[in-house]
Amino acid sequence: MTSRLVAAVLASASLAGCANGGDRGRATIWVTRDRGTRVLLQRTVPAGLTAMQGLDRVAHIKTRYAGRFVQSIDGFEGSLSARRDWFYFINGYEADRSAAEYRLHAGDVEWWDYRSWKTKMVQPVVVGAFPEPFLHGYDGKRRPAVVVYFTRAQRAEARKVARVLHGRAIENLFDPRAVAANVLVLAQHKKPAFNATTRGGAGSPVAFVYSGDPRLLLRRPPVGHLRYEVGR
């Protein structure tokens, strides 16, 4: 049931976005292996750099294709024969351009992960940077944030999560305020899980579906930190 409702929201969402942030402040860089299971590096860099420049400041990198493609980070090298490469996300979105072309904004989370692509090449959005992309969006544009709940028992916790996301808590997934918004659905399943979907590319509306104790979303780090998904 929940998956059908989320699909409906994503299908109806427009491509509108809100301008956000600038070149002042700091951005965060994570470097991991194997879908976030091994953390290699966590640093901050000034906003205003390109993602490639930011990475180059905190790690030893080798590039290909005129500096547009990251081949190696700190000795971990991509391999066509082994089907392993570096993939990068901005605020949980798989980036839609070379890191040499993406300009970091204040608050951005730039995440590089070295993993196999034998079974899956594309991963449009992940939960591991939560509360991103609800806070800073993509490419300096932030969408409205909506937290959807279904029972009165969920209301208080939904409102707490919504405040952290600078958004609204609503009881109806088809509320007009959910159109074009990034949506977090507090599902009622007993089995803990956290996953994310989008119907478009980087910056498009996302639907995050979480089941479990909502208080874990407010923890530092929150549930699902540095994971593509939880419980799927």
Q: What is the largest CA-CA distance in the chain?
A: 56
Find where tokens 């009622």 sit.
188
Q: Could you report the per-residue pLDDT of 80-102, keeping only the tens digit for each?
A: 999 999 999 999 999 999 999 99
CA dist., res. 96 & res. 79, Å (int): 21
pLDDT, one tens digit per residue, over 18-65 is: 444 456 899 999 999 999 999 999 999 999 999 999 999 999 999 999
Q: Which residues contact 133 (CB under 8 A, 6 or more apart)?
A: 91, 92, 93, 125, 142, 143, 182, 206
Residue 168 pLDDT greater than 80, yes or no: yes
pTM, entire model = 0.89
Pairing of strands 141-142, 76-77: unpaired
Comparison of pLDDT for 230 and 21, the residue scoring more = 230
pLDDT of amino acid 14: 38
CA distance 52 to 109: 13
CATH numbers and ranges of domains, the chain: 2-19+130-217 (3.30.379), 26-116 (2.170.130.30)
Listed in sequence order, the residues at least 6 apart from 75 whose beta carbon sits closer than 8 Å to its beta carbon are 60
Distance CA 45, CA 152 (A): 43
- pLDDT tens digits for 94-128? 999 999 999 999 999 999 999 999 999 999 999 99
